[in-house]
Amino acid sequence: MAQITFKNSPIHTIGELPSSGSAAPSFTLCSGELEDVALESFQGKTLVLNIVPSLDTSVCQASARHFNEMLSKVEDVVVANVSMDLPFAQGRFCSSEGLENVISLSAFRNAGFGESYGVTITDGPLKGLLSRAIVVVDPTGKVIYTEQVPEIAQEPAYEAVLNLLK
């Protein structure tokens, strides 16, 4: 269980992020078209999971915008914003912001994603949502980078991800 903070108050996740070098836990998430999307759908590409509590918050929106811009110039990389938001809400945000270089996937049908990746928040006002984290999966399905952001209101280390993918 990871301890993180929300507005400087301690909260916890259900577990820990997968370790670098391990196989990425399998998942099935829901696309904006309400179709199932599995980890295996990204085989052959590097996958950046931008895991966020909700795209209805300013920091989550900022990270989606930043990854959309930053990784649009890197080939064979897919960025997926993952949250518990309904696919309709995710789609409205990405559409209104013109985010064309990221996809959004919802875990609303599959609580197992948060458990497998260790990011379900178990207490506090955000209980049941996903913590802010980054997981990068290489084209063969191996985890090559993780970051559990220690404070929910803090943005992730974008440059570390960009440097890894250059």
How does pLDDT run across 61-92, given as a tens digit for each residue? 787 877 878 877 788 899 999 999 898 877 76
- Please determine, looking at this structure, whether the domain spanning 10-165 carries the CATH number 3.40.1390.20: no
Q: Is 60 a catalytic residue?
A: yes
Query: pLDDT at position 96, please?
Result: 67
43: its two tokens: 């085989």
Query: pLDDT at position 57, please?
Result: 74
Catalytic residue among 17, 47, 48, 60: 60
Statement: the pTM of the whole predicted model exceeds 0.75? yes
